[in-house]
Amino acid sequence: MATLVAGTVGALITQRWSDRRETVAWERERQRERERWAREDEARTFEQRRQSYVEFYEALKAMARTAYDHCYGFTEESELAEGWQSDAFAKLAQLEFYANRPVAAAASAAYSAAWSWGHFGEHDAPDDPSFHERQEVYDAAELEMLNLMRQSLSIPEADLTLPPPGYARGEDHGGEGEQD
């Protein structure tokens, strides 16, 4: 009888240890799975952020080009077309969803500067001093936004002595670079 009890108790203890090992192993596997999902989510979000930055940057550059062309008289119409800023505005809304606060604020400031440049600019009046003032405001806002975007995406600067993209080296423009 004692042998039967000892065998049963031994089997129960062995089963309990086995269950604990299995539970620990199962919990460890679940934790690994959660970590993998978190990494995948983070990578997906990073890619969506990167894409929203690039798409907004391209739309903003197109918007600024429209303002520049309008003020220089490179367009036939004396007024900007209805919705000339719409694509950049839509891309800004998407960017604000994925961006951190400094990038979102800088993107909004760059958008506002480009909008102001085009909206308040006179058609075919490149010698108007306010044209160049608004262009400088836009250039500074765009550069600030671009630097914050690159920082947010952890894009390293290879050589900090080089001028930022879109700006010429060694030219003095009152502290601002000249667009290429």
d(CA 56, CA 62): 10
CB 169 within 8 A of CB 163: yes
- Cα–Cα distance list, 96 to 2, 50, 111, 167 (Å): 74, 12, 12, 26
Average pLDDT in the chain: 86
SS3 158: coil
pLDDT recorded at residue 159:
64
Q: Amino acid identity, residue 145?
A: M
pLDDT recorded at residue 32:
87
Residue 10 has pLDDT above 70, yes or no: yes
Across-strand partners of 179? 167
pTM, two decimal places:
0.73
pLDDT recorded at residue 6:
77
Strand runs labelled E in the chain? none
Chain segment 96-138, per-residue pLDDT in tens: 999 999 999 999 999 999 999 999 999 999 899 999 999 999 9
Mean pLDDT on 63-81: 92
pLDDT recorded at residue 107:
98
* Tokens 């970590």, residue located: 35
* Tokens 């600030």, residue located: 144
d(CA 55, CA 89): 11
Chain segment 12-47, per-residue pLDDT in tens: 788 888 888 888 888 888 888 888 887 887 878 899
